[in-house]
Amino acid sequence: MTKIISVANQKGGSGKTTISMLLAGVSAQRGWKVLVVDADPQATATRWASAAPEDEPFPATVCGLAAAREKIHREVRKYVGAFDLIFIDCPPAIDSPVPMSSFMIADLALVPVLPSPADVWATRAIETLISNAQDFNESLQARIVPNRVKDNVVIARESLEFIRSNFRIQCTRSTLGDRTAYQQSVAMGTVVNRLKAPKAAGEIEVLANEVLNLLEL
């Protein structure tokens, strides 16, 4: 049974591509057949995979389907059966039809959110979208993933507390810190456990455990 995860938030820079690629990479290293559908015309995920050295390719397959737009669910369905896990890396545009289309076929929506007031406000829109999608796709689960968390910054701590207590979507237990290894992994076309970055690698392992557990894998 192929599991589909849509990584979405209309706000740019919240960590959609980072979380899609790193969860996909680590799941592939664990032996699952994993596809990342790059649904963003900016093609960051595709560039990430193409930045990998020839002798050490990115562990998951990445394909660009941004042009399918509102028909993305139909295109993704063609890969069901060929992969164990499909991550859909959604574009940030507020008016894009891709998040809603992807929620129609997804088992899990992951919503990366930066703990800052502006990002918290923007998350209301995706919360409504997920709630509407659940009217059609009753088995759609959803989790907010707090990203770039800085425990020592008061406004970040307060924003995270607000997210935890004011959204209908639960937060994942695991959070990602603000770490340069996440940026290095993009530039080098790799996953964090191939860099000398034990903290980042540990965070991704823990988040992957939680996500695969939600999907009963």
Ligand X SMILES: Nc1ncnc2c1ncn2[C@@H]1O[C@H](COP(=O)(O)OP(=O)(O)O)[C@@H](O)[C@H]1O
Residues forming contacts to Mg ion in the complex (CB under 5 A) are 16-17, 40, 44
Least distance from ligand X to the Cβ atom of residue 6, Å: 13
Least distance from Mg ion to the Cβ atom of residue 44, Å: 5
Least distance from ligand X to the Cβ atom of residue 114, Å: 8
Q: Decide whether 44 or 141 has the Cβ nearer to Mg ion.
A: 44
Least distance from ligand X to the Cβ atom of residue 10, Å: 10
Given ligand X, Mg ion, none, residue 25, with its beta carbon under 5 to 8 Å by kind, binds none
Given Mg ion, ligand X, none, residue 38, with its beta carbon under 5 to 8 Å by kind, binds none
For the chain, give the DSSP string: --EEEEE--SSTTSSHHHHHHHHHHHHHHTT--EEEEE--TT-HHHHHHHTS-TTS--SSEEEE-GGGGGGHHHHHHTTBTTBSEEEEE----TT-SHHHHHHHH-SEEEEEE-SSHHHHHHHHHHHHHHHHHHHH-TT-EEEEEE-SB-TT-HHHHHHHHHHHHH-SSEEPS---B--HHHHHHHHHTS-GGGSS-HHHHHHHHHHHHHHHHHTT-
Output the residue with the shortest Cβ distance to Mg ion.
17
Residues at the site binding ligand X, with contacts judged by CB under 6 A: 12-18, 44, 92, 147-148, 176, 178-179, 182-183, 186
Q: Decide whether 40 or 203 has the Cβ nearer to Mg ion.
A: 40
Q: Decide whether 23 or 85 has the Cβ nearer to ligand X.
A: 23
